[in-house]
């Protein structure tokens, strides 16, 4: 399935979920309002979701003067990948992590935390940035950024249902338990939609990152280091906006238990094993 089709399926699925929740809140009128709201959100997310996510993380743009090593690294890798130079951002967070965003390669941005820049060696960070540029090259960034924005909107709509209750088609109040179920199940459904698309992307980005950087072992080492440190260092913005977790190279959330049943990333152990197999020639890029 190509990425334009994936994006269309994603937007249609989330729009259908909007209409379902809207119908439970306000019957036919609620469904119509949710359809209009969801359509407007889809259009808004297409043009502005990257700016919203970067703002959520208080990312600030850097250039060859303010962050020469990082900027030069990204410029070199973008050239190797045949990509336009993306905007480069730094996030003032101790947790080591990184992500890419934007609606297409011509309007892309990559972001890295100060934590990842301190933790990793030059070669390891280069592997991480190559991974993120592969997301740009594969046009994964539009899917992940829109899904993050829309999942947050669904959560807000579900909370509205919880506080104001649901209505049937005749405008009568429904069982208040239904409002609670909507508030719990609608964000879960949005997460499942994200999961259906996001896991395979990470394997593809690891393979592409290994190919662009020419150094699969450094990317493998980077993933192991990030996993070890990220689990013990909370990232406030990710905890407040968990729908954005699937954009990161490693899941930034610190929750355990049931949250692991709905992982948006493959296990780091499996990702590292694949990269080692690539390095030894046992697995093709």
Q: How far apart are CA 177 and CA 191, in angstroms?
A: 22
- Which is more confidently placed, 271 or 14? 271
Is 284 inside any structural domain?
no
Q: Which tokens belong to 197?
A: 């698309």
Q: Give the residue carrying structure tokens 């130079």.
A: 85
269 near 250, Cβ under 8 Å? Answer: no
Annotated catalytic residues are 132
Is 285 inside any structural domain?
no
Q: How many structural domains does the chain have?
A: 1
- ∠ CA(176), CA(179), CA(182), 5° rounding? 150
pLDDT digits (tens, 9 = 90+) for 227-254: 999 988 999 998 888 778 888 999 898 7
DSSP 224: H
Percentages helix, strand, coil for the chain (3-state, rounded to 5) are 70, 10, 20
pLDDT digits (tens, 9 = 90+) for 105-156: 999 999 999 999 999 999 999 999 999 999 999 888 777 666 666 666 666 6
| pTM beyond cutoff 0.75 | yes
Q: Give the residue carrying structure tokens 């406030």.
A: 236
- Which is more confidently placed, 62 or 191? 62
Domain that residue 221 falls in: 3-279
Q: How far apart are CA 157 and CA 171, in angstroms?
A: 18
Is 269 inside any structural domain?
yes
Q: How far apart are CA 136 and CA 277, in angstroms?
A: 24
| pLDDT averaged over every residue in the chain | 81
Q: What stretches of 1-139 show up as alpha helix (H) in DSSP?
A: 3-56, 68-81, 114-119, 122-137
């Amino acid at each position: 399935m190509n990425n334009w089709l994936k994006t269309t399926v994603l937007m249609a699925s989330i729009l259908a979920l909007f209409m379902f929740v809207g119908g439970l809140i306000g019957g036919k009128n609620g469904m119509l309002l949710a359809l209009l709201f969801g359509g407007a959100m889809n259009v808004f997310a297409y043009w502005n979701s990257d700016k919203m996510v970067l703002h959520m993380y208080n990312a600030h743009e850097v250039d060859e003067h303010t962050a020469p090593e990082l900027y030069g690294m990204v410029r070199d890798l973008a050239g190797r990948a045949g990509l336009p130079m993306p905007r480069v951002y730094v996030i003032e967070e101790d947790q080591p992590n990184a992500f890419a965003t934007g609606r297409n390669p011509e309007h892309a941005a990559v972001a890295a935390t100060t934590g990842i820049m301190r933790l990793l060696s030059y070669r390891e960070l280069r592997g991480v940035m190559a991974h993120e540029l592969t997301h740009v090259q594969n046009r994964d960034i539009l899917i992940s950024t829109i899904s993050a924005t829309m999942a947050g909107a669904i959560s807000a709509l579900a909370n509205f249902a919880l506080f104001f209750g649901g209505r049937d088609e005749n405008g009568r109040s429904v069982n208040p338990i239904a409002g609670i179920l909507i508030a719990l199940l609608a964000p879960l459904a949005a997460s499942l939609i994200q999961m259906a698309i996001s896991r395979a992307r990470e394997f593809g980005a690891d393979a592409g990152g290994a190919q662009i950087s020419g150094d699969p072992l450094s990317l493998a080492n980077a993933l192991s280091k990030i996993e070890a440190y990220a689990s013990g260092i909370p990232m406030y913005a990710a905890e407040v906006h968990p729908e954005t977790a699937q954009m990161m190279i490693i899941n930034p959330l610190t929750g355990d238990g049931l949250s692991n049943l709905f992982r948006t990333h493959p296990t780091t152990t499996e990702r590292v094993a694949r990269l080692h197999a690539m390095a030894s020639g046992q697995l093709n890029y």
